[in-house]
Amino acid sequence: MTPILPGATLGMLGSGQLGRMFAIAARRLGYRVEVFSPDRDTPAGQVADVEWVHPYDDFKAVDQFARGVDVVTLEFENIDVACVERIEQQAPVRPGALTLRTAQHRSREKTALQKMGLSTAPFRLIRSAQELKVGLAEFGEGILKTAAFGYDGKGQQRLHGNEDAGQVWSDFATDEAVLEGFVDFRCEFSVIGVRGANGDFRAYAPILNTHHNHILDVSVSPAAEIPTAVGERAIEMTRTVMTQLDTIGVLCVEFFLTQDQEPIINEIAPRPHNSGHLTIDAHVSCQFEQQVRAICGLPLGSVAQRQPAAMANLLGDVWPEGGLPNWVAALAQPRVKLHLYGKQEARVGRKMGHLTALGDSAAAAVALATSAREMLQAGGGTT
Ligand code: AMP
């Protein structure tokens, strides 16, 4: 493939924080960036050369956008495949429709992973109260998840097995869901892989993740909790996923580490991932630069880590009523880096930014990231 060189124009579907950090990396490399989404003054639009504001099914606008860019990528997998296939007739879309179609639907995704010989949580496709009843009897405890369009624990319900399946199913109000057996995991971690157009593959070392209210809270690397052999297997599993789906770009595999030290896949996200934000400050090439390199057919960058790091998410919850977090107190820590996404309204549970702390050890980095986040709430901020 002839590389798409700096100076060319990269298209991004979606305009949130992942698009923003992609656009920053792309512009640093000398590319132009155009983002497309239904929203205005978005995190990505604020740093792009052009912000297209149209619904994804406005095919006239989609065609015009596609004709003006050299390659298109995306920041979230829940884009209608019809839009992606439309664009593919005019410009390459990386990752392509096969990867997206697989990642968009939990049952399709898990079935595909199992066909590749990779372990997932036990699951059943649920289309009725009766199927839910059978599934609960089989798993005892489980998590019911909408089959499509779920993220950050949205569209999920923990079930203990003694619920009234009829009531749960009618309250869930969907045609199709997946019931997963509850996994009693030791910990959760992710592997972020990068695959170029020529099949080159690299992966960052496993990143340990902790969640709060189903939303990622803190990520840390290196992850001493993940035995080396498990990490190597998880990286090979990530390679298998990307090779089988012929993914060009970045793909994150989220894992559970079971009590008997087996890595099993929770889900895949065919794009940079929240857990990989620490690569911006801690690694030679960050996940967003890798996304640019991969989709442009350039050689991939190094995934080597320069020093231990931890990332703490900043949700809207950190904002005091009518005021601002105490940015000065957190920034007074010289090894803390602040990333804000340009979102105007701080709502509870909304991802507004993150802090990355660098440390001499992973534990020191976690302690610094979390204490810096606490300092944000120590008052002193004004509007
Ligand atoms: P998901 O949106 O599927 O990534 O789920 C969000 C979080 O819910 C995960 O990161 C886990 O902490 C938890 N979770 C999801 N599925 C399961 C499962 N089958 N067993 C135990 N915990 C789960």
The pLDDT value recorded for residue 78 is 87
> What is the rounded CA–CA span in Å between residue 15 and residue 297?
23
Instruction: Confirm whether 40 is domain-assigned.
Output: yes
Query: Which residue type is seen at 212?
Result: H
Residues 206 and 259 in one domain: yes
Q: Which residues of the chain have pLDDT under 70?
A: 150-153, 379-383
Residues 82 and 160 in one domain: no
The pLDDT value recorded for residue 324 is 95
Q: What are 152-188's pLDDT values in tens digits?
A: 667 889 999 889 999 999 999 888 999 999 999 999 9
Instruction: Confirm whether 365 is domain-assigned.
Output: yes
3-state secondary structure of 98: helix
Instruction: Confirm whether 210 is domain-assigned.
Output: yes
Please give the distance, rounded to the nearest whole angstrom, from the Cα atom of residue 141 to the centre of ligand 1: 13
Pocket-forming residues, ligand 1, beta carbon under 6 Å = 121, 143, 145, 150, 153, 180, 182-183, 188, 211, 214, 254, 266-267
Answer with the one of 47, 73, 93 that is the final residue of a domain. Answer: 93
Residues 210 and 291 in one domain: yes
Residues 149 and 217 in one domain: no
The preferred substitution site among 109, 143, 145 for testing ligand 1, maximizing ligand atoms within 8 Å of CB, is: 143
Instruction: Confirm whether 86 is domain-assigned.
Output: yes
Please give the distance, rounded to the nearest whole angstrom, from the Cα atom of residue 266 to the centre of ligand 1: 7
CB 290 within 8 Å of CB 343:
no
Residues 19 and 150 in one domain: no
Query: What is the H or E stretch that residue 220 is in?
Result: strand 215-221
Query: Could you give the number of structural domains in the chain?
Result: 3
Please give the distance, rounded to the nearest whole angstrom, from the Cα atom of residue 211 to the centre of ligand 1: 9
**CB atoms closer than 10 angstroms to residue 297:** 18
Please give the distance, rounded to the nearest whole angstrom, from the Cα atom of residue 220 to the centre of ligand 1: 18
* Ligand 1 atom index nearest CA of 182: 20
Exposure string for 12-23, b = 16+ CB within 10 A, e = fewer: bbbbbbbbbbbb
Domain holding 20: CATH number?
Answer: 3.40.50.20
Residues 256 and 354 in one domain: yes
**CB under 8 Å to 217, separation ≥6 — which residues?**
210, 211, 312, 313
Q: Which two tokens stand for residue 84?
A: 């992606």
Residues 63 and 176 in one domain: no
Residues 164 and 263 in one domain: no
Please give the distance, rounded to the nearest whole angstrom, from the Cα atom of residue 156 to the centre of ligand 1: 9
Quick one: which of 247, 198, 203, 252 has its CA closest to 93?
247
Domain holding 255: CATH number?
Answer: 3.30.470.20
The pLDDT value recorded for residue 148 is 86
Instruction: Confirm whether 166 is domain-assigned.
Output: yes
Exposure string for 365-383, b = 16+ CB within 10 A, e = fewer: bbebbbebbebbbeeebee
The pLDDT value recorded for residue 322 is 85
Domain that holds residue 135: 122-181
Compute the C-alpha angle 144/146/150, nearest 5°: 115
Instruction: Confirm whether 318 is domain-assigned.
Output: yes
Q: What are 241-277's pLDDT values in tens digits?
A: 999 999 999 999 999 999 999 999 999 999 999 999 9
Instruction: Confirm whether 328 is domain-assigned.
Output: yes
Smallest CA separation from ligand 1 atom 19, residue: 182
Residues 155 and 282 in one domain: no
Please give the distance, rounded to the nearest whole angstrom, from the Cα atom of residue 47 to the centre of ligand 1: 33
> What is the rounded CA–CA span in Å between residue 342 and residue 330?
18
Residues 269 and 338 in one domain: yes
Residues 232 and 340 in one domain: yes
Q: Could you please report the per-residue DSSP string of 15-71? A: -SHHHHHHHHHHHHTT-EEEEEES-SS-TTTTTSSEEEE--TT-HHHHHHHHHT-SE
Instruction: Confirm whether 143 is domain-assigned.
Output: yes
The preferred substitution site among 266, 268, 273 for testing ligand 1, maximizing ligand atoms within 8 Å of CB, is: 266
Smallest CA separation from ligand 1 atom 8, residue: 214
Domain holding 174: CATH number?
Answer: 3.30.1490.20
Please give the distance, rounded to the nearest whole angstrom, from the Cα atom of residue 310 to the centre of ligand 1: 21
Residues 196 and 238 in one domain: yes
* Ligand 1 atom index nearest CA of 181: 19
The pLDDT value recorded for residue 383 is 45
Q: Can you give the pTM of this predicted structure?
A: 0.96
Please give the distance, rounded to the nearest whole angstrom, from the Cα atom of residue 100 to the centre of ligand 1: 20
